[in-house]
Structure 1
Amino acid sequence: MALPLRPEPVESVLPCNFAALAGDRRSVRAFQDRPLPAGTLERLLQLARRAPSGANLQPGRFIQIEGGIRGRLSSALVEACRDGRQEPEDYGYFPQPMPMSLRRRQVAAAQALYRAVGVAREDRAGRDRQFERNFFFFDAPVALIVTIDREFGAGGYMDLGMTLYGLMLAAQAEGLASCGIGALASYPGLIRRTLGLGERDCIVCGMAIGYADPQAPVNETVTTRCELDEYFTRLR
């Protein structure tokens, strides 16, 4: 059922304090074996689609994978990763070359993750095992593949990004957790073949949604955000 053109005020739909909602949201990488109530995902997606969109084009598609197709995709992704196979990605995510200022942020985030799960820097096997959890959607009850039509330019990715964040916040407001999975973008051809998608379907990322496992050490991972003066300037 589509949302009405004039939805209820947001406070009646999501009764929460936004500062707490945004502040508590984090990438969760371990979930309980507990399904979402019927209709929850559909409702979250409809709320996320309220994100701003240039010319109201609403780019992006969300594909939920379950059962056998999910198992086959996870197995294929792990096999490709272990074999060292590489594919050209559908879009460039990281700057090339990576500036040292950004590289330091990337390294700090990885260190926080591996420190939480007790994996030492020199433990390559342990790091690989943790990385492969991406391909199993961290065992979340909901596994999504996010795509965008190849004809969209950078603005479409911007609009889709706002929808993705809207989905994460909508999930958070319902007591759910989420994690965007950029690792899936490394195997776009494999994903298209396994899911029977067309060449116009660019693979943007995956997403895991479910109830966070409060006992999992990996969910204690904490990353920082840069200071305001690093990205905000006032000109007069």
Structure 2
Amino acid sequence: MSTPPSVHANPSAASSPGRCRNTPSGNCWNWQRAPSGNNIQPWQVHVVTGAKKQALCEAILQQAQAGDPGEAEYRYYPDQWREPYLARRREVGFGLYQALGIDRHDLDARRQQELCNYSFFDAPVGLLISLDRRLNTGSYLNLGMFIQTFMLAARGKGLHTCAQAAFSWYHEVVRQHVPLPPEHILVCGIALGHADTEAAANAFATAREPVSTFASFHGFESISQA
């Protein structure tokens, strides 16, 4: 597996909702080898499929469709959006809706697309990622590296993933279906399956800023002149 194609792949729709045969059980994926400061390994994962996954998704969808927006236990978005982040967010949102053929003013269609999150985009396997709330900000760095390690490992096994913070808003429903400890915050879900290459959402590619906009290099002038 070469890393660049793995980094680019992040589909949000899955084909074949049947049984996923190549699941991350056991140690063969090596996802437990993710970097971890002081080796505290703070992550916890619940992996759901089959009837268990279906019951969970139906329960969340029922609550969401009833108009209950849920409430996350951590703040994913800023209290006030600022530039350049606001423009980037709008660009990706408008671009995705355009790819899906959804008018940005069609709130009903946008809502239906949002609800697709809660079926794991029809992927056969879903992961629920949690973190001990008694830990601090540094553990979120550990968790982010763990999630990325898992997603790269999945590509190495020929599978695709989509990380989904949307599940955090319905942590109370999730707790009714998996034994999530009360001291744990539900951080996100991850859809795991084979990407549906025919899905319009998967044909949409997000833009990235050039390296020069976020990275500064210091001291390399003297090296190049040596």
TM-score range relative to shorter protein: 0.7 to 0.9
With 54-63 and 44-53 compared, the bigger mean Cα shift is at 44-53
What residue in structure 1 maps to residue 11 of structure 2? 27
Q: Tell me, what secondary structure is at the counterpart of 2:142?
A: helix
Q: Does 1:221 align with 2:199?
A: no
Quote the offset at 1:136 in angstroms. Answer: 0.4
Give the 5 Å matches for 1:64-83.
64-83=47-66
Q: Distance in 2 between matches of 1:17 and 1:72?
A: 37
2:139 to 151, 156, 163: 156
- 8 Å Cα contact 1:44/1:171 also seen in 2: no
Aligned ranges 1:12-91 → 2 under 5 Å: 16-22=1-7, 24-37=8-21, 40-42=23-25, 46-91=29-74
1:89-100 correspondence runs (5 A): 89-100=72-83
* Other-structure match for 2:222: none
**Residues 53 and 125, structure 2, Cα contact 8 Å, conserved in 1:** no
Aligned with 2:167 (options 180, 184, 189): 184
Structure 1 position 64, deviation (Å):
1.1
Cα offsets for 1:29-67 (capped at 9, x unmatched): 2332343325x3125784222111011011111101233
List gaps (5 residues or longer) in structure 2. 220-226
- State the TM-score, normalized to the length of structure 1: 0.84
Question: Which residue among 114, 120, 130 is the counterpart of 1:131?
Answer: 114
* CA contact 2:29–2:153 (8 Å) conserved in 1: no
Unpaired segments of 5 or more residues in structure 1? 1-15
Change (3 A) 1:71 1:18: closer
**Is 1:121 paired with 2:70?**
no
- Relative distance call for 1:72 and 1:33 in structure 2 (3 A) is closer
Residue of 156, 165, 185 corresponding to 2:148: 165
Q: Give the alignment's TM-score, normalised by structure 2.
A: 0.88
What per-residue deviation string (whole Å, max 9, x for no partner) do you get for residues 68-98 of structure 1?
3322321222222223324442212222212
Contact 1:31–1:138 (CA under 8 A) maintained in structure 2: no
Counterpart Cα distance in 1 of 2:27 and 2:148: 11
Q: Is the 8 A contact 2:46 2:178 kept in 1?
A: no
CA distance in 1, matches of 2:28, 2:79: 33
The number of residues matched between the two structures is: 219
Q: Distance in 2 between matches of 1:129 and 1:213?
A: 19
Give the superposition deviation at 1:123.
1.4
Once the two structures are overlaid, the 10-residue window that deviates more, 61-70 or 47-56, is: 61-70
Change in CA separation of 1:100 and 1:83 when aligned onto 2, cut-off 3 Å: farther
Distance 1:197 1:47 in 2: 23
Matched, 1:195 2:214: no
CA distance in 2, matches of 1:194, 1:66: 12
CA-atom RMSD, angstroms?
A: 2.0
Which piece of structure 1 moves more, 134-143 or 107-116? 107-116
Pairwise CA distance, 1:101: 1.6
**C-alpha separation between the residues in 2 aligned to 1:45 and 1:181?**
24
